[in-house]
Amino acid sequence: MRADTTGKICLDDIYTRPDPRAYFSTLRELDYHIPELAKPHFRALIEEYRAATGVRNPTVLDIGCSYGINAALLKCDATMDELYERYGGPEADGMSIAGLLERDRDLVRSRGGAAGGSGGVRFIGLDSSRPALEYAAGAGFVDGAVHADLEENEPTAAQRERLAAADLVISTGCVGYVTERTLGRIVDAAPPGRRPWMAHFVLRMFPFDPVEKALDAAGYETVHSAETFRQRRFATAGEQAQVLETLSAAGVDPDGPERDGWLSARLHVSRPAAR
């Protein structure tokens, strides 16, 4: 298996298929479930935002949304186990992409406003993978899409306008691929006086300091969870050994879930400071 410079195996191939079947069948083997662990924290932040601002129906931008996974969990109150079965089970095997999309639109229609779902919240997905984003939008998981790589490029005027609608910005499994450059461009797109709140689940192996410094300079205050969240199992012993080395080199205590076989993340919540 190919690995990147941090030792983490490269799964890029499953992010760019026209439907989520390869994504879910591969990640199921690795017990990937960070979106499930993130869900109550995102939901709590949305509630806090509503209470603090009086905005009943906020817009949530999901960076690296892929096939619309966080939106599906929050909007339809779905679970990762349910999605693993939905796309990795025998029924999905014989379905066309049009059939998968139709089945997902039914899910959104029937459960999009369900009790327990994030009723009234609008989701915008940002991803550099056009096929994944098209699926997320076609399924109705996201209500708007920004296909961009803001690491490489400034947003276009139309993209800035969509980014500017974000009241909250969330991500799972994406910071690391994206850095303070992408987050800075999103903050720059915000209207004056309405910077979005943020919640990012970030692998411990990726230093968050540069992101925090950039957000601090833009007028944010960041709170870090003490808790660690198990993102997925290591794919190989080699991946585990190299990630443990990366953690040590980054000055992160390697005696965490990584020793027990789990890539693990922390939650970083950034709110505009009351200055």
Ligand X SMILES: C[S@@+](CC[C@H](N)C(=O)[O-])C[C@H]1O[C@@H](n2cnc3c(N)ncnc32)[C@H](O)[C@@H]1O
Residues that bind ligand X in the complex, under the rule CB under 6 A: 15, 34-35, 64-66, 69-70, 126-129, 132, 149, 151, 172-174, 177-178
Closest separation in Å from C-beta 170 to ligand X: 9
Q: Which CB atom, from 55 or from 131, has the smaller least distance to ligand X? A: 131
| Nearer Cβ to ligand X (182/240) | 182
The single residue listed with the structure tokens 């499930």 is 36
Query: Can you say whether the dihedral through the CA atoms of 210, 214, 216, 221 is positive or negative?
Result: negative
CB of 64 to ligand X, least distance (A): 3
Beta carbon of residue 151, minimum distance to ligand X (angstroms, whole number): 4
Give the C-alpha separation, 127 to 219, whole Å. Answer: 25
Of residues 202 and 252, the one with the C-beta less far from ligand X: 202
Nearer to ligand X, 34 or 92 (CB): 34
118/129 with CB nearer ligand X: 129
Q: Are 27 and 81 in contact (CB under 8 A)?
A: no
Q: Is 193 left (phi over 0), alpha (psi -120 to 50) or beta?
A: left
- Helices assigned H by DSSP within the chain: 21-29, 34-53, 69-76, 80-88, 90-93, 97-111, 130-139, 157-163, 180-189, 209-217, 237-249
DSSP states of 47-67 = HHHHHHH--SS-EEEEET-TT
Q: Identify which of residues 18 and 55 has a Cβ nearer to ligand X in the complex.
A: 18
Residue 126 β-bridge partners: 63, 146
Backbone φ and ψ of 183, nearest 5°: -65, -40
Between 268 and 272, whose beta carbon lies closer to ligand X?
A: 268
Residue nearest to ligand X (CB): 64
CB of 239 to ligand X, least distance (A): 14
192: number of Cβ within 10 Å: 5
What pairs with residue 11 in β-bridges? none
Phi first, then psi: give them for residue 185, nearest 5 degrees.
Answer: -70, -30
Backbone angles phi, psi at 190, to 5 degrees: -70, 145
Q: In the bound complex, what is the minimum distance in angstroms from residue 129's beta carbon to ligand X?
A: 4
* Minimum CB distance to ligand X, residue 61 (Å): 11
Q: CB of 246: closest distance to ligand X in angstroms?
A: 17
